[in-house]
Chains A and B, each alone.
Chain A
Amino acid sequence: MQRTLFEKIWSQHVVVDKGNEALLYIDRNLLHDGAFHAFTALAKEGRKVRKPRQQLATADHYVPTRERDKGLEAVVDADAREMIRLFDANGAEHGIRCFGMNDPQQGIVHVIGPETGFTQPGITLTCGDSHTSTHGALGAYAFGIGASQLKQVLATQCLWQKKPKTLRITVNGVLGAGVTGKDVILAIIAKIGTAGATGHVIEYAGSVFRALAMESRLTVCNMSIEAGARAGMIAPDDVTFQYLAGREYTPKGSQWDTALAQWRALPSDEGAAFDREVSLAGNAIEPTLTWGTSPEEALPVSAAIPDPASFSDANKRAHAESALRYMDLKPGTPLTDIKIDRVFIGTCTNGRIADLRAAASVLKGRKATVQGWVSPGSTTVKRDAEAEGLHRIFEEAGLEWRASGCSGCAAMNGDFVPAGMRSASTSNRNFEGRQGKGARTHLMSPAMAAAAAVTGHVTDVRTLLGGR
């Protein structure tokens, strides 16, 4: 029987099969500083972490991105300070390796997983965070869980799961200049909707994904959850293996050869059946951004704000009406007429080195006309970027170069966009209030965000690329 990538991984991890439910083994679990509810529950029930070596933790959501070196005492917000303190304490108590606030390997959980090689093809990976779908870019089955299920993974390394359905999204063709993984995934979500993949695991297939660098694949899989998917996956190939080779957690020597042989057998078999299929033409995808308050409210940069009255679905119409009120936008306005007040480059979606290079190549020798900041996805990315001099390009353009963390993505650490301000953001959610109360978010690629920084309004980055 031909099997999909997902089915192969699933069947290799079923401990007990009860037909309508399976006990699934979890190879690796990632933790961040928002995991305290799970630890509190664990302590209350008097349970231990069963496999500390199969955990890796990092402080990201609550850490400050300024004056990090001043340490915990300098964290102004008392609640955030307590979160970071609890994080260190829980890690120490349970013998879990933790990248604390000032660890040289600290970073956003979905950046450090791939970066350390903790994330690998063929494994099951969980994290108490919806964007765990990111890790599927390396050919893992990775999914987000809540605090109670996180407690279960810590206590047992297993979860009772119902088998999700499969959806293959094929994008063939070649992407044009200035079009990135972010544009591809925004175009996909615009097409299938935020509930388009609910209950499904997406496998991204086709020449466009084969040609994408690992960073862009991670961006695509990261936003699978914005289409409602349980997980997103890309079959591992030479791009994957080259990315992983030599990383800290990846097998070495003869174990590397064993692993490689196993990983090469993972891609979906020719003719394997998926529960659903969707396809898009890669050549037709333009730089894309969101205009509303749901990731599905996205359009190519050449488009104009749609008229909600033209939507046939009543729920979508109502959502679009309220989105335009919140965003203070009028139907018919060309997207390129939207004025921008703030620029935020970073996050687990677009905070990797290739993302920073793309933004820097637009900003080089230019000035930003609006305020903004760049927060690298990890401290390792920060070091790499500084070694290449990218930080100087950002600073010379007038943007702030900050320490690594979730920062303005969910604004939990105090880095927020003020109410009423409009932000060009490389993050993954444009929900009302996501970047701060009353903040208006337009999601776009790092290159597009850099272009908006230069002109002060939404701009087709391709007009700024000449010769770059």
Chain B
Amino acid sequence: MKPFTKLTAVAAPFDMANIDTDKIIPARYLRKLRNTEAGYGPWLFYDMCFDANGKERPEFVLNQTPWRDTGIIVAAENFGCGSSREGAAYAMLDWGISAVIAPSFGDIHYANEIQNGMLPAILAEEHCAVLRAQLKATPGSSIAIDLETQTITGPDGKTYRFDIDAVYKERLLKGLDDVGLVLQELPAIEAFEKQHHEKMPWLA
């Protein structure tokens, strides 16, 4: 996995709370293999991007010229709630978005972002709201994120400290792969399994 250290990119404001993963990628696109260059990118926020006739909705933020190069989303509460589909993380990543700043995330989606080397940065809603307002006031402006210092610098140069758990921070900074980290513990796993299955042989 590619390490995540710093990122400066155009940031897009998403005012709506509870953006579920069905919105991030509609279920009907999940039956596609992710084996082309574009990956899941073309289906990101598909039904928010396009109307019933496949025409772009001009009011949708990512359809507006200054935000076509968005690399960061600043969202509201409970981003990525709902379905466990990792396709939601794939779609963002394949489209070019590798960090989401929000006051809270759906648990499973949060883990999926981490697993894909994306940064889910937790920042209080009052600060997210300020950032979103600034991004709207100056469309196409950038935000800078530094994971090591856990800081976000907004378009006006003001810096905020975001939350991320120490273990996830280390994984992202080093680009560590979880399977590798688990397999380091193989002797402990085998020992555990032995005594566990002695107690509950029907589970082996």
Contact = CB atoms under 8 A, between A and B. Distances in A.
Interface of A: 12-13, 15-16, 18, 20-21, 23, 25, 27-28, 34, 36-37, 40, 45, 47, 53-54, 62, 77, 79-80, 82-83, 120, 123, 128-130, 132, 144-149, 151-152, 155-160, 162, 194-195, 198-199, 225-226, 228, 230, 249-251, 255, 259, 262, 294, 315-316, 318-319, 322, 410-412, 419, 429, 431-434, 437-438
Nearest to B105: A198
Nearest to B113: A146
Closest 5 CB pairs of A and B: A148-B115, A146-B86, A315-B17, A146-B112, A251-B202
A259 B166 CA distance: 38
Interface stretch (B2-10, B153-161, B183-191): B183-191
Contact of B178 (A79, A149, A431): A149
Contact of B26 (A158, A419, A437): A437
Nearest to B35: A40
B108 interface: yes
Interface stretch (B61-69, B140-148, B192-200): B192-200
A162 B165 contact: yes
B82 A433 contact: no
Given A21-B167, A146-B111, A318-B15, A157 B33 contact: no
A80 B32 CA distance: 9
A318 B105 CA distance: 19
A195 B52 contact: no
Contact of B52 (A79, A130, A228, A437): A437
B164 to A, nearest CB: 12
Nearest to A200: B107
B100 interface: no
A410 B77 CA distance: 24
Contact of B82 (A15, A431, A437, A438): A431
B108 to A, nearest CB: 5
29 contacts: A13-B196, A25-B189, A27-B203, A40-B33, A129-B83, A146-B108, A152-B178, A152-B182, A156-B182, A156-B186, A159-B178, A159-B182, A160-B181, A160-B182, A195-B18, A195-B78, A198-B78, A198-B104, A198-B106, A230-B107, A259-B200, A315-B16, A315-B76, A319-B18, A410-B27, A411-B28, A412-B30, A429-B22, A431-B20
A37 B87 CA distance: 9
Contacts of B199: 262
B134 interface: no
Given A195-B77, A199-B107, A148 B167 contact: no
A53 B202 CA distance: 11
Contacts of B17: 315-316, 318-319
A231 to B, nearest CB: 10
Contact of B84 (A20, A130, A432): A130
B93 to A, nearest CB: 12
Contacts of B137: none
A147 to B, nearest CB: 4
A15 B202 CA distance: 19
B130 interface: no
A263 to B, nearest CB: 10
A151 B179 contact: yes
Interface residues of B, number: 59
A23 B188 contact: yes
Name which of A40, A82, A316, A410 has the most chain B CB atoms within 10 A of its CB.
Answer: A410
B33 A36 contact: yes
Nearest to A154: B179
Interface in B13-42: 15-18, 20, 22-23, 26-28, 30-34
Contacts of A16: 185, 188
B179 A155 contact: yes
B172 interface: no
B203 A28 contact: yes
Interface of B: 15-18, 20, 22-23, 26-28, 30-34, 47, 52, 76-78, 81-87, 89, 104-109, 111-112, 115-116, 165-167, 178-179, 181-183, 185-186, 188-189, 192-193, 196, 199-204
Contacts of B16: 315, 318-319, 322
Given A194-B81, A198-B106, A412 B27 contact: yes
Contacts of B111: 145-146, 149
A145 B84 contact: yes
A145 B111 CA distance: 8
Contacts of A230: 107
Contacts of B52: 419, 437-438
Given A12-B196, A145-B111, A146-B84, 7 more contacts: A15-B189, A147-B112, A151-B179, A156-B189, A194-B78, A431-B23, A433-B47
B107 A123 contact: no
A25 B196 contact: yes
Contacts of A146: 84-86, 89, 108-109, 111-112, 115
Contacts of A195: 18, 77-78, 81, 104
B84 to A, nearest CB: 4
A259 B85 CA distance: 34
Contact of A147 (B31, B86, B165): B86
A412 B28 contact: yes
A20 B182 contact: no
Name which of B18, B34, B196, B199 has the most chain A CB atoms within 10 A of its CB.
Answer: B18
Name which of A149, A199, A255, A429 has the most chain B CB atoms within 10 A of its CB.
Answer: A149
A238 to B, nearest CB: 20
A198 B107 contact: yes
Name which of A25, A83, A120, A156 has the most chain B CB atoms within 10 A of its CB.
Answer: A156
Given A146-B86, A228-B81, A54 B179 contact: no
Given A146-B84, A318-B17, A432 B182 contact: no
B120 to A, nearest CB: 13
Contacts of A18: 167
B203 A228 contact: no
